[in-house]
Amino acid sequence: MPEQVIHTDKLTKRFGTFTAVDGISFSVRPGEIFGFLGANGAGKTTAMKMLTGLLIPSGGLATVAGFDVYREPESIKRSIGYMSQRFSLYDDLTPRENIRFFGGIYGLASKELREKCDRMLERLDLKGVADTRLAALPLGWKQKLAFSVALLHEPKLVFLDEPTGGVDPVTRRRFWDLIYQAASGGVTVFVTTHYMDEAEYCDRVSIMVDGRIAALDSPEELKRRYDAETMNDVFISLARPARRSE
């Protein structure tokens, strides 16, 4: 059996008397696109913070990329890629500067970084605007760049935190092409989203309700099980009985 990229067992996070994440257990296989769904306040963000080494869990076990979340959060940070909402990079820096900066904080040597930077600009077709400030570039270009920057240090696992929030459908669709490309290259993708059409693109999805994982399977299987037309219907039938909402 190939080693799981993410494995959790009864992973729990409590803030005082409030249990944000209530004993979740799941595994993510190498190379898959894993959708991590849930309504606002369901505990998605907290769970993701524990998996990226930003939060120490209150209980349970978890390994990410082979490292323990309690003992080796720094090793986890080094071996994962991360992209936050809305393709955020520095708008007042140029593509080249953004690449150099993020490569730099991930500890890439400057010679290697320079070569990588040139290759990346070439591949993304951004050579012509390499020294133009990001703010002046169209969203689609920024999106490509942000995703490539998250993969700059060649992580085997990348976390995407609502990467397409507030973005139009065409741009979203194009972004998913990038995700497929990365996944076919062997990168495991862990993605949170609010868009149910995006959930359909995932190999497997988990749906969190009230801090627990209410369902976890492939979109086809989930639709069959809940006798639903779309993932949207699946989500609503699971999330409606939720006790907590924002």
The CA-CA-CA angle for residues 87, 103, 160, to 5°, reads 30
Least distance (Å) between residue 221 CB and other proteins: 32
Q: Considering the rule CB under 8 A, would residue 127 count as an interface residue with other proteins?
A: no
CB atoms within 10 A of CB 26: 18
The single-letter DSSP state of residue 168 is -
Does residue 77 touch other proteins according to CB under 8 A?
yes
Quick one: 159 or 201, whose CB is closer to other proteins? Answer: 159
Is 7 a binder of other proteins (CB under 8 A)? no
Assigned token pair, 39: 């309504």
- 231's CB contacts (< 8 A; 6+ apart) are 196, 197, 199, 200, 205, 219, 222, 223
Positions 198 through 227 that interact with other proteins (CB under 8 A): none
Please give the size of the binding site for other proteins, defined by CB under 8 A: 32
CB of 105 to other proteins, least distance (A): 5
Torsion of CA 68, 69, 71, 72, to 10 degrees: 80
The values of phi and psi at residue 86, to 5°, are 55, 40
Q: Which is nearer to other proteins, 47 or 89 (CB)?
A: 89
Q: What is the CA radius of gyration of the chain?
A: 18
Selected from 10, 70, 88, 169, the binder of other proteins by CB under 8 A is 88
In this chain, which stretch among 90-98, 178-186, 202-210, 233-241 interacts with other proteins, using CB under 8 A? Answer: 90-98
Stretch that binds other proteins, among 97-105, 172-180, 183-191, 220-228 (CB under 8 A): 97-105
By the 8 A CB rule, do 245 and 40 touch? yes
- Our finding on whether 72 is near other proteins (CB under 8 A) is no
Residue 137 structure tokens: 């570039």
Kindly identify the residues of this chain, within the stretch 157-196, that bind other proteins according to CB under 8 A: 159, 161
> Quick one: which of 96, 100, 116, 144 contacts other proteins (CB under 8 A)?
100
What is the 8-class DSSP label of residue 3? Answer: P
Q: Residue 50 CA to chain centroid, in angstroms?
A: 13
* Interface with other proteins, residue 246, by CB under 8 A: no
What are the residues binding other proteins (CB under 8 A)? 52-56, 74, 77-78, 80, 82-86, 88-93, 97, 100-102, 104-107, 110, 133, 159, 161
